[in-house]
Amino acid sequence: MKKIFLLLLVCSQLITLRANSQDANRQKTVNVSGTAEMEIVPDEIYVHVELREYDKKGGSKVDIDKIKNDFLKAALAVGIPETDLSVQGYQGWDGNQWWYKKNKKKNPDMKASITYQVKLASTRKMDELVQKLDDEATHNFFIARVSHSKIQDLKKQLKIQAVKAAKEKAIYLSEAIGEKVGDAISINEPNEVQFHPQPVYANRMMAQEATMAADFRAPSSPEIDFKKMKLKFDVHVTFSLK
């Protein structure tokens, strides 16, 4: 019985010593979050323009080839390079001239359409393009998305600022309890908080109204533009205390 009692006593002491050792070796840490944000004006505006065949008053149809050529000439005339133009889709015509002519003979009333994506640098450039479009051929005109030419560099800059903000917070929090910040133990990849700016122009009708308003605008009036894009990053960092 005494042997059992002594064995239990030794085990209890070993467990206590191990627990005390773990407490003594436990790393003191501070967990903090950092945030960085900025607002920027988009300088890349992606517009989708849908062009469709139409019938003139005399009854003849303006075909898709002429509409395409007129649109490309209009885009080049306002200074939009070909590299900023791309085809997004076809309807009733897939680029196969033989197929198109064959089906058009069967269905003379068939209206083919093509949708272009145009990259613009400003709303002023969009106004210039709108003024040159064929109103009869332009079936739809809307902004697909906006971005910035230096978006990746700006995101990298904000991530760095977010980590620095976290360290600054860790410093003043630890000083409040008489501690000092040590090395970083872990840094989580900053999470981007998405904010989608609302454009002034939502569709072709709004763009036309804005263009008409520009004709009556005083020379000193500011150019209508988009709301700023808001970039924001949140990061969580764990620092040791010493």
- Of 147, 174, 202, which residue sits at a domain end? 147
pLDDT by residue (tens digit) across 23-76? 445 789 999 999 999 999 899 999 999 999 888 887 788 888 899 999 999 999
pTM: 0.67
Task: Report yes or no on 3 lying in a domain.
Answer: no
On whether both 126 and 218 belong to a single domain, the answer is: no
pLDDT by residue (tens digit) across 129-184? 999 999 999 989 988 888 999 999 999 999 999 999 999 999 999 999 999 999 99
- Of 126, 147, 168, which residue sits at a domain end? 147
Q: How many independent structural domains does the chain possess? A: 2
pLDDT by residue (tens digit) across 207-238? 444 444 444 343 443 445 567 889 999 999 99
- pLDDT at residue 225, rounded to an integer: 57
On whether both 36 and 156 belong to a single domain, the answer is: yes
Amino acid in position 119: K
Q: Render 68-122 in DSSP notation, one character per residue.
A: HHHHHHHHHHTT--GGGEEEEEEES--S-HHHHHHHHHH-TT---EEEEEEEES-
